[in-house]
Amino acid sequence: MDSGLLSLLHSRVREIYRDDTLWVLDKPPGVISHPNPPAEVASNALVRSPYDFDREAYWVQDGDGQRLPLYLVHRLDQDTSGLILCTFSDRAAAALKEALYHREVAKEYRAVVLGIPREPVGTWRDSLEKRSGRGKASVVVDPRGRINAETRFRALRVFPAAGAALLGLEPETGRTHQLRVQTASRDLPIAGDERYGDFAANRRLIGLIGLRRMFLHAYRIELRHPTSGHKLSFTADLTRPLSEPLERLAGLGERIRS
């Protein structure tokens, strides 16, 4: 693979790692993992190339003009930043998705929630159901449904005066909006979440700590290389739009939520 592939990335997407099989990218908020159907291209998509919805892959060209599929192993919401795992191999894509299904790929997110968990560590298990209404899909917890979403959490920093906490979230499953719904359903909405969050508190956060986006970041991913079997670990540190509000949160002397 040559450096010409970098020119295909959205201008704000950063390369973390690349070899002949894997491509690990750091996506900023506002960039979509792939175009919304039926469009095959989008100016705010991860890659500036046509997306094949049947293959779940972009079609890209290397420096020699060779046409290659770039498979998305998983996706991130538009407003979520952080690591996305991609592969150039159909066999590797199948193997990695199988590894995800069997919980052999570890992912950790960092999130600031408005509230403090009762316990510093634990596991959330829920039944999540996707619903559509007024042209927009949303996800709710179905208390009578089968458990299909599981997330381990741990409190990394607690801000008692502000009534907030920085959590490490490790999803064992990959349901749509899973982390956002599981936190919100426990009265721990993610700071800045404009769909499931506390809208009044989000407006206050702009003035109090300068947070102007959702504080949810795909921080770490660990896996075995689908070809070599070597264990790999990648991280994407918080950028200034998150790290600076986080430090201001530490000095905040008033509660964010009334």
Q: What is the pLDDT of residue 3?
A: 64
In a domain, 12, yes or no: yes
Residue 159 and residue 76 share a domain: no
Residue 160 and residue 176 share a domain: yes
Residue 86 and residue 143 share a domain: no
In a domain, 246, yes or no: yes
Reported pTM: 0.94
Q: For residue 213, give the nearest of 188, 186, 240 by alpha carbon.
A: 240
Cα separations in angstroms, 92 against 33, 74, 107, 129: 19, 13, 18, 30
Q: Which of these three, 102, 127, 156, is where a domain ends?
A: 102
Please name every residue paired with 47 in a beta bridge, in sequence order, or none if there are none: 9
Q: What is the pLDDT of residue 137?
A: 76
Q: Which of these three, 86, 102, 118, is where a domain ends?
A: 102
Check residue 12 and report its DSSP letter.
T
Residue 50 and residue 80 share a domain: yes
**CATH number where 50 lies:** 3.30.70
Measured CA to CA, the distance from residue 29 to residue 195 in angstroms comes to 15
HSE-CB at 199 with a 13 A cutoff on CA atoms is 3
Residue 110 and residue 96 share a domain: no
Give the residue numbers marked as catalytic.
77
Residue 77 and residue 1 share a domain: yes
Q: What is the pLDDT of residue 66?
A: 81
Residue 36 and residue 153 share a domain: no
Using an 8 Å Cβ cutoff, are 235 and 219 in contact?
Answer: yes
In a domain, 258, yes or no: no
In a domain, 167, yes or no: yes
**CATH number where 169 lies:** 3.30.2350.10
Q: Is 67 exposed, middle or buried (0-12, 13-18, 19+ CB in 10 A)?
A: exposed
Residue 176 and residue 90 share a domain: no
Residue 151 and residue 72 share a domain: no
Q: Which of these three, 59, 75, 102, is where a domain ends?
A: 102
Phi, psi of 174 (to 5 degrees): -130, 55
Residue 148 and residue 67 share a domain: no
Q: Residue 194 is encoded by which pair of tokens?
A: 């404009």
Tokens 């064992």 belong to residue: 172
Residue 124 and residue 94 share a domain: no
User: In terms of residue numbers, what domain contains 154?
Assistant: 105-253
Residue 202 and residue 122 share a domain: yes
Residues of the chain with pLDDT under 50: 1
